[in-house]
Amino acid sequence: MKRLALLLLTSLLFCQPAWAARAKVASMAKDPYISALVLDADSGKVLFAEQAETTVYPASVLKLMNLLVILKELEQGRISLADMVQVTPEAAKTGGSQVYLDSKEQFPLEELLYALTVQSANDAAVALATHIAGSKEGFVALMNKQAAELGMKSTRFHSVHGLPPGEGQKPDETTAADLAILCRELAKRPDTFKYTGIKERPFRDNTFIMRNHNHLIGEVDGVDGFKTGYYQAAGFSIATTAKRGGVRIIAIVMGSKDRKVRDAKARELLAKGFTMVPPKAVPPPAAAKAAAPGKGPAAQVSGPAAPGKTVTAVAPAGGAAKEEADEEAAAEAATDAAPARDWAMFLWGLLLGMVAMAVPGYLLLRRRGRER
């Protein structure tokens, strides 16, 4: 019995799992939401605010800061859209919403930027961060520096993707008011909408169709950005925008318990904003008429694959790809299942360890018994 007890103890020690590797974060999601804000993008006037200074977890909405940092790096000529980005093993192992990058792959920076903004790909976020700043930590420093420069006083980033924090890590924190500052800064850059206004886009030679988690695109008049976010403790959040009659309205809804409620409230707030700001005279789109077919931003934001091509999406192991309506919750909420998966891995590892260590002992005892 002593030997068996020793074997069990040894198994426990050597099979120590990752089940405790994810920090516990108390859920703050509420019905209909934690906070909300509506902003006139041009004037910066706040048209509606409710608990806008309350701290929230942005989840993947923080990728808007990734986008701003990258756009500024492009503007300053430190990087190029044509740069080839090598996927690191760390990026390839990143879970949640992803494009299933492999460490043997490399992509043009712009393709990974689309993956970041359309698919909300966490693996692309890590790959881009490492390419630009040398490490995730280096890129997080750039994100926090930019937040400070913009006056986002209640924001502190700890990750490049917005996933739930690991053991010993802190959750990313911000407020609806701070996100409004970020969104307004992004709205000054036309390229923002080139990346955030796409409903779907092919990736990896048309073998994967990326679908935007912002379900208001194509459903609500004028919506062309920005980003959604979700994990269980954070709730469903969205920072979105629409332009009508020369007026751009930004609406932010943070921490809803239900995705459909979040989207419904975002629709309501956008509509509310447009009733409060009179339309402006819009010049005729002469430049758009002059653009040659297949050229310019309009062509770059086209998502569907070329006619006649069969396109299949790579799905995570264990199930088919979810429909677009469930994609965000399925992909990003998968990270919240990590503790259960880790427990299963622990028990499986414990069983294997016990068998591996007990069988030789059993055989040795039998041999000694025969020798007697």
Catalytic residues: 60, 63, 120
Q: Looking at residue 116, what DSSP letter applies?
A: I
Nearest to 37 by CA among 289, 230, 254, 199: 254
∠ Cα 100 338 353 (to 5°): 105
The one-letter amino acid at 187? A
d(CA 161, CA 66): 9
Q: What share of the chain is helix, strand, coil (3-state, %, to 5)?
A: 45, 15, 40
Query: Residues with Cβ < 8 Å from 355, sequence gap 6 or more?
Result: none
Q: Which helix (H) or strand (E) holds 157?
A: none
241 neighbors 341 (Cβ within 8 angstroms):
no
Nearest to 124 by CA among 150, 157, 101, 153: 101
Torsion of CA 36, 42, 45, 49, to 10 degrees: 0
Q: Looking at residue 137, what DSSP letter applies?
A: H
Q: Which helix (H) or strand (E) holds 346?
A: helix 338-371
- b/e map 334-349, b = 16+ CB within 10 Å: bbbebbeebeeebeeb
